[in-house]
Structure 1
Amino acid sequence: MSLLSRKEVEPLTAYSDIQTAFIRYRDARDAYSNWLENHALSSVRGYEAHLGLDSRRVKLNGKDQRYVQTGDPFHADGFKPSAFEGMSENGSTLQFYMRVALEESEQSHQKSWIALRINCEKQGESVAYMIRADGFADVDPVSVRIPVRLEPPQRTDLYEAISAVIMSALDASPYEMPKD
């Protein structure tokens, strides 16, 4: 037998409390997701500017396109430029793919691209990025943290981390033949 009689016990949590918590959670998660997507997109555009490619276009698959894009590398028609696909299962990490067009020169007809898989997440007063070269198992991922309030032109540590992953993926040394 309980020490409290049924009259003295009131429900601690009403369903309306759960509804209120759900609405606050959903609104906060949506705001976080939007903020993180904007931060990531401004970083992608900042990287494009960092490389001096923000005002240039490349012809890929017969279309003029940005040199640096986000999108879906697994689309049936090849890389499909698109916005972000959304948050990961745990709700705090944004995963997206970014590709960088590669060419010998603007006049060259042979063009290619490299895809990067990037995760980003706000951690306190910084944003943590994990950059991987998609399709290059031997290339180690690179992690970098940048202050939340850092504007795109000042995100040099992030841009150099992206470039380090690309340069590692494009390492020709395993294919070079010994010189006589």
Structure 2
Amino acid sequence: METRVHKASRRQPGASGRLHRMETGEWVWESEEDDDDEDDAARDRPMNTLERADSSDSDDDRAAFTIGSAGAPDTRQAPLINLVLRMRNARHELNDIRFEFAAGKDSADGIATELVGAGLLDARDADVTARQLQRLVDDFLFPGAGGPAPRSLTFRLNSAPPEPEDEQSLVGFAQISIVD
């Protein structure tokens, strides 16, 4: 486990920071700006927390993870896009992984690699997730003449369990969405 955490703390190409686990077990995203400005230790940083949601009429357990850059966005920087990757984990629990994508700074491959390194995404799904993330971001930033850009994409995972797949309940599928 400690080896996996150590791997997650290394900065990947295309990522705007790094994800690491605190001694308390919380995931913390540290942006490059934090590395440059180590004197500002009191600065607020978003925590990556696991939250249990009550589901009285469903057997779905939902966990929420958040990955994002610390600090307020600078208007001179590339636009930040808030995203949610929704998928089921090995225990069939529905997980929401929230993160920011800084256009022009982050890369879809870098984000997918960070998610794999943090143990939130199966390595077999990194390529398909990166492709769908890039497609969603490109459609959002450069909408075509065919109408509004999609705000959500559902796609099949390579690590699908050996049971009947269901796109609606995300069994064998994942969904990536732009949120406000």
**TM-score above 0.5, yes or no:** no
Q: TM-score range by the shorter chain?
A: 0.3 to 0.5
Q: TM-score, normalized by length of structure 1?
A: 0.32
Greater RCO (CA < 8 Å, at least 6 residues apart): 2
| TM-score, normalised with respect to structure 2 | 0.32
